[in-house]
Structure 1
Amino acid sequence: MLNKSVFDFLLELRENNNREWFHANKKKYEAAKKNFQLFVELSIEQIKTFDPSVSGLNAKDCLFRIFRDVRFSEDKRPYKTNFGAFIAKNGRKSRYGGYYIHIEPEQCFLGGGCYMPASNILKAIRTEIFHHPEEFKEIVENSEFKKHFPELYGEKLKTAPRGFPKDFEHIELLNYKHYAVSKMIDDSIVNSELFAKEIDNVFKALHPINRFLNEIVQDL
């Protein structure tokens, strides 16, 4: 179970997003981070029971830094107001499809797949779907998948991607810029013993699309 200290810290940070407060409360941050890291370790153990590709990972491979890169942003707040982890082969910077946990009061979600894939990966995914549309449709139209993820995440191209025929019967499957999904999770679930079961259910439903994507990525 995720410790309440994680939420408490993030709520305080939201109201005091400055370096002076952060340094004065560094012990709170370290305690919250340690608890989230432990939770991610346990989540990895859950996931590898149905997706062995995450075996060998540890939470440190998967956790994102809380420090924001403000060099090119108008928003100069120095810290993120969430904890996040991407569980996938090779960790948080992986090009493989994986499983994402986002903890932020009132904005918690679970997700995964390939978010912002590199252009060569995106083209390879579209090409595989073009040649095997029924296989991909079977995944994204599965009732268990749709229960958690009614649609794929993000913007779509308005016309067929370059190199693909506009009259392709399933062109809507090729127009995505990401092959990723997300599901919002209520804070009451996140802060209860039900969260581990929710992770198990959601990520098991996500596994087939990750398997499809990763068979493509591993050949590049």
Structure 2
Amino acid sequence: MLETNITKGTFQFLNTLKKNNNREWFTEHKSAFKVEETKVKSFFSHVHDLLKTHDEIEKMKVFRIYRDVRFSKNKTPYKSNFSASFSRAGKHRRGGYYLQIESGNSFVAAGFWNPEKDDLLRIRKEWQVDTTELVEIINDTKFKKVWGQIVGDELKTAPKGFDKEDPNIEFIRMKQFIFVKKFTDDEVLSNNFANEVNDSFQTIRPYFDLMSSILTTTMNGESLLD
């Protein structure tokens, strides 16, 4: 039976790990980690099942607790969170879902983290022509209440080949196209958290549908799919 809630024990373990972020402590408490990891993985699987009621999901990926410190100034070996991503199925479905559980820093995110070069150019060319449908979607009252403003890395000026005075430059200079919704610890621990996560993901769908349509067609509206 899948876990349908996040428990206080998960936060307690992560907070203790954060204070004792070293290999010696982690080795001594590996069994406690395994207990919490199993519970959270089960919860992620529950969210995965909820997602599949309204979207086609290809796979769920649970990220490892171990940090890659090779290119980081922060050399602590472990993350202080559990996280997972959910990939949509098929070439005609674009966008991805992300869920992170961490005391004081739990959130869901959805969108396009690092579009490939060709995809990024295609998106920018679309915004150069028209952002009407995009603006309507992200300014919808229900959508905005859940997701707020679009965020992501962006250029300081116009990308090569685009006019810095373009009326849609605020979107054209973006390199990522992400929405984030944060949750308090009390919200994460509530019995309704999984449904709140799923409802948030379901609300992003009009944005995913628009971006999928853009990324699977040419500027002339011709399909790029075989």
Counterpart of 1:115 in structure 2 is 113
Could you tell me which amino acid in structure 1 is paired with residue 70 of structure 2?
Answer: R
Structure 1, unaligned runs of 5 or more: none
Counterpart of 1:81 in structure 2 is 80
* Distance of 2:212 and 2:48 partners within structure 1: 18
- Contact 2:158/2:172, CA 8 A, preserved across alignment: yes
* Distance of 1:28 and 1:129 partners within structure 2: 49
Query: Secondary structure of 2:204's match?
Result: helix
- Partner of residue 44 from structure 2, selected from 40, 44, 49: 40
Cα shift at 1:16: 0.8
CA-atom RMSD, angstroms? Answer: 2.1
Report the TM-score when normalising by structure 2.
Answer: 0.84
Query: Secondary structure of 2:202's match?
Result: helix
* Distance of 1:159 and 1:70 partners within structure 2: 32
Structure 1 runs, 4 residues or longer, greater than 3 Å off: 214-220
Cα shift at 1:155: 3.8
Length, aligned pairs only = 211
Instruction: Report which stretch shifted further, 41-50 or 101-110.
Output: 41-50
Report the TM-score when normalising by structure 1.
Answer: 0.87
* Distance of 1:85 and 1:208 partners within structure 2: 22
Q: In proportion to residue count, which structure has more helix?
A: 1
Q: Which has the larger radius of gyration?
A: 2
Query: Secondary structure of 1:62's match?
Result: strand
Q: Does structure 1 residue 200 correspond to structure 2 residue 201?
A: no
- Partner of residue 99 from structure 1, selected from 92, 97, 100: 97
Q: Does structure 1 residue 28 correspond to structure 2 residue 32?
A: yes
Q: In proportion to residue count, which structure has more strand?
A: 2
Structure 2, unaligned runs of 5 or more: 217-223
* Distance of 2:127 and 2:87 partners within structure 1: 22
Query: Secondary structure of 2:99's match?
Result: strand
* Distance of 1:37 and 1:115 partners within structure 2: 23
- 1:109-136 CA distance string (max 9 Å, x none): 1111011323332222222333341121
Counterpart of 2:63 in structure 1 is 64
Counterpart of 2:136 in structure 1 is 138
